[in-house]
Structure 1
Amino acid sequence: MTNATDLPAPGFSCGLDATLRVIAGKWKPLIIYFLVQGPNRYGALKRAVRGVSDKMLIQQLKELEADGIITRHDYQEVPPRVDYTLTPLGRSLAIALAPLCEWGSANMAAVTHLLEERARWQATPPAHATAGG
């Protein structure tokens, strides 16, 4: 028999679902990773999270702030100076993400190979498409 405390909160199928809703998006886990090392200004995060557009980084930072994962500190200076820091909830999430970082580091060569294979597979047209049909 399932205990009522074992059931997920309304709207979530399980704890992983809740976690994924908070870190959903390509960039949020990376933002959290770089903030676990300490407060960062926007420019430092933009350089660290390679490939993210300004629009997407701003959006992801706002969502993480709204979710209570980071805090934004505006120093009210000219020129403007703002930095971002993990909240206690954000630090606990960073700790939970640490094993994924370790797995990625340990398996980087294999993942690189798999992604190269996937790219080749996706670039190859299906056999029926080249058979005159």
Structure 2
Amino acid sequence: MRKENSSNAINRQFLSESCILNAAVDAFSGRWIPQIIYSISEGLNRFHLLKNELPNISEQVLGRKLKELEKEGIIIKEVIPDTVPVGVCYILTGKGKDLLPIFVSICEWGKKYVVENEMS
């Protein structure tokens, strides 16, 4: 949980208010967030499937990140009917689906510039 009074939170708020790009990037940045969004888009939409796909993430962190994505309106949590215990899956919203081509563009940029610089 983010502390609203911390200097990081104050700086994040200032940057978000001063430039829409900062606000947009903040909505999907952070450790694990892009990978979780991508994994859900690939059909890994149950908690245990995401945990298996991302073995280095703790269950607490995964749960917290899913809640953050839900709060941002990037995913929704849907109850799977007729399951015992009650099962849920995560689905990308339109807002979440609109991130996918952006991620592809960022990956292409990374292949061109980040990977290139690491090999130099």
TM-score, L = length of structure 2: 0.72
The 1:106/1:50 distance shift into structure 2, 3 A limit, reads farther
Paired residue for 2:62? 57
Corresponding residue to 1:69 among 69, 74, 81: 74
Q: What's the CA shift for 1:38?
A: 3.4
For residues 34-45 of structure 1, the aligned pairs below 5 Å read: 34-38=39-43, 40-45=45-50
The alignment yields a C-alpha RMSD, in angstroms, of 2.6
Q: Retained in 1: the 8 A contact 2:75–2:93?
A: yes
Aligned identity (percent) is 35
**1:40-89 deviation per Cα after TM superposition (whole angstroms, max 9, x unaligned):** 11111112224111101000000100110001111252033211110000
Paired residue for 2:90? 84
- Pairing 1:23–2:33 present: no
The 1:57/1:102 distance shift into structure 2, 3 A limit, reads same
SS where residue 17 of structure 1 aligns?
helix
Structure 2 residue runs without a partner (length 5+): 1-14
SS where residue 89 of structure 2 aligns?
strand
Task: Look at both structures and tell me which one has the larger radius of gyration over its CA atoms.
Answer: 1
Paired residue for 2:106? 100
Q: For the residues of structure 1 that align with 2:118 and 2:97, how far apart are their CA atoms?
A: 29
TM-score, L = length of structure 1: 0.65
Q: Which amino acid aligns with 1:44?
A: L
